[in-house]
Amino acid sequence: MLEITALITYFLGKYIDTYIILALLVFNSIISFLQESRATDAVELLRKKINVNARVLRSGIWKQVPASELVPGDIIHVRMGDIVPADVKIISGVVDSDQSALTGESNPVRRSTDGDIYSGSVLKKGEATGIVTATGSQTYFGKTTELVKKAGSESHLEKLILSIVKYLVIIDVVLVGLLLVFSSIYSISYVDTIPFALVVLIASIPVALPATFTIATAIGALDMSRRGALVTRLSAVEDAASMDTICFDKTGTLTQNKLSVTSPVPYACTEEVLIQAAILASDESSQDSIDLAIIQYGKENNFDITGFKVTEFIPFDPSRKRTEAKVLKNDSIISVVKGAPQIILSLCGDADGKSVMENVVNLAHRGYRTLGVAESSGDRYKFLGLIPLFDIPRPDSNQLITKLSDLGISAKMVTGDSTAIASEIASKVGIGSRVCISSDVINGKQHIDSCDVFAEVFPEDKYEIVKLLQKEGHITGMTGDGVNDSPALKQAEVGIAVASATDVAKASASIVLTHEGITDAVSAVEDGRKIYQRMLTYTLNKIIKTIQIAIFLTVSFLIFRYLVTTSFEIILLLFANDFATMSIATDNVRFSSKPERWDVKSLVGSSMSLALLIVVESFIILLVGMRLSLSVDQIHTFIFDMLVFSGQFTIYMIRERGHFWSSRPGKYLLIASIGDILVITAMSSAGILVTAIPLLYVGIVLLITFISMALIDPLKNAIFRHYKI
């Protein structure tokens, strides 16, 4: 619309007006471009990560070739330290695969014959030969790349601005239409009405609205970065204010992504004897997560093994499914073993297998993995007990869920674990008890709003869950750390990557946390809602002033048959008010305790009500100017001053949802307003760019506009309550 106005002014020979409008357009474009530039490109990072080589068997000869040349059916060999170049099914060998870059899970996964290892994972132990099952975009990694390409949330900010402009244009069209009908009836020349239509058009365009939103979110993003949340997509700041649902990836977000021993269950021995045996059957140098958890528990409880000496250690073997150590104890050799409870029980003749397995089942229902431990000084093993292992919740998880609930945000958990484990973790962190299997939700068997926890989630399901929540009208947040989380992070309005996330996850997210844990997400919500309050003030002010100016200029033209201000002065008003009110972006505000939603109808309804009251004020000031026997040119200045001053005072009236004196405005807002009033006062009294009027008359306008604001303020409170502003 501003471009159309520039063309009209040019063809009417108003070149100064044209240049000023073009300057506004350039300014707005530069601000938007600079602030919306993305720092990273997720798809490019994904492609770079796929650039690896492979050992492949071709024509009976092993060769090194780029991974891009592999095809399904190729036989390849991988070993410790390799990045797996494709999706592979193992033919022979055993490997520990670190899939953290894909899944965010830090614990290596053991795979042997017929097991699958995925492109992009790193081998931490062992070697294997396998057959390529998928390459490129068909791999698990590649499919994630394709999802990231098509994922993306819609811009709610763009829709808001377009909706506001639509309402303002409708008002303008109605008023200009009335004017044209009036002109035809009373034979008023269109030469006189076209400049008026131009003035209304200029006045109605929210020139600074996109720039103000951008500046406010950029300032908010800077504040958020100081509190540990880096914003990579500015629209996420505004979306954080509206977010009503957030999905938490369980591992590494709500939990520590580290196994811990919890309440060992000794049988016919002490806890110390049980843990000592388990430590002796562990190897710290392997960095196995289970062994490290057992050793750490022993250290924390001062269980000493200095009197024992391991003479032989047999590591875990897929066929034996246990670790074993020969230990020198009191000048005799004993054997200690640990492994799956049923395997250890099969070695023991003394244990009550039924009782032990009932305990194992009960622990499994609560989400615990269990190990059995036994020792032998002869032919038969003695069952020592069970060691439950659990990825315990982060100490701040429960507090986080409580804070989000206080902010009106529904927290949901997303995990690949079974319903039993999911339910146990959910109960510990304070998330609801309604556990759903993700496939049932995606297939439509269960409604997504009836679920607090999504269990048995495959990586691609997270993306579908976010889309389903958005389809139900939720502004959705998603946390994650692995490549498999990237599509969901990009699809969500607020994608949050934790500090330990992969580069690809961070690139796909709109907010990246820099501190350990997820509690900084609360700060992001609070800051987003503060920014919403500032933008609500600006938007209300802009709509009020637009409606006020359009109605006032139209009705005054119909009554008095001349324009009470000029198109040039309206453009000056854009500078004097719109760009001065950008300082609203730094105003002191309080955040709401519930998610914020832009309701354009409520905005326009409340703005229209207040604008009509201010129109009454405008006509009072116009009549005062006429009683002062001012010339038409001086009336222009008189009304210009009124529009500037009332615009400034309106900000202070609507920035506070209660009485205007209830809170202290921001320092920069005060400075901008005082500066604006002083500059306009000097211009009007000195005749700079406008026709001069006495300083006393400027003071009269200032006084009347202030008194009017104070009188309208109680009515504003009633209007805001009615429209739930």
Amino acid letter, 512: V
Judge contact between 295 and 409, C-beta under 8 A.
no
Nearest to 352 by CA among 332, 326, 325, 382: 382
Instruction: Give the DSSP letter string of 47-102.
Output: HHHT--EEEEEETTEEEEEEGGG--TT-EEEEETTPBP-SEEEEEEEEEEEE-HHH
Judge contact between 523 and 224, C-beta under 8 A.
yes
- The β-bridge relationship of strands 410-414 and 453-455 is parallel
Judge contact between 156 and 528, C-beta under 8 A.
no
The 10 Å Cβ neighbour count of residue 627 is 8
The 10 Å Cβ neighbour count of residue 378 is 8
Amino acid letter, 48: K
Nearest to 2 by CA among 189, 192, 168, 213: 168
Task: Identify the H or E element spanning 244.
Answer: none
By CB atoms closer than 10 A (0-12, 13-18, 19+), residue 172 is buried
Amino acid letter, 293: A
Radius of gyration of the CA atoms of the chain, in A: 35
Looking at residue 574, the DSSP 8-state letter turns out to be I
Report how far residue 458's alpha carbon sits from residue 212's, in angstroms, rounded to the nearest whole number. 42
Report how far residue 10's alpha carbon sits from residue 3's, in angstroms, rounded to the nearest whole number. 11
Q: Which of 74, 249, 391, 587 is catalytic?
A: 249
Report how far residue 428's alpha carbon sits from residue 398's, in angstroms, rounded to the nearest whole number. 7
Nearest to 324 by CA among 386, 286, 376: 376
* HSE value, Cβ hemisphere, 13 Å, CA-based, for 659: 5
Is position 249 annotated as part of the catalytic site? yes
* Number of residues in the chain: 725
> Which residues have CB under 8 Å from 269's CB, separation 6+?
384, 385
Report how far residue 612's alpha carbon sits from residue 635's, in angstroms, rounded to the nearest whole number. 21
Would you say the C-alpha torsion 699, 703, 704, 709 has a positive or negative sign?
Answer: positive
Report how far residue 588's alpha carbon sits from residue 106's, in angstroms, rounded to the nearest whole number. 43
Judge contact between 203 and 503, C-beta under 8 A.
no
> Which residues have CB under 8 Å from 51's CB, separation 6+?
66, 67, 68
What are the catalytic residues? 249
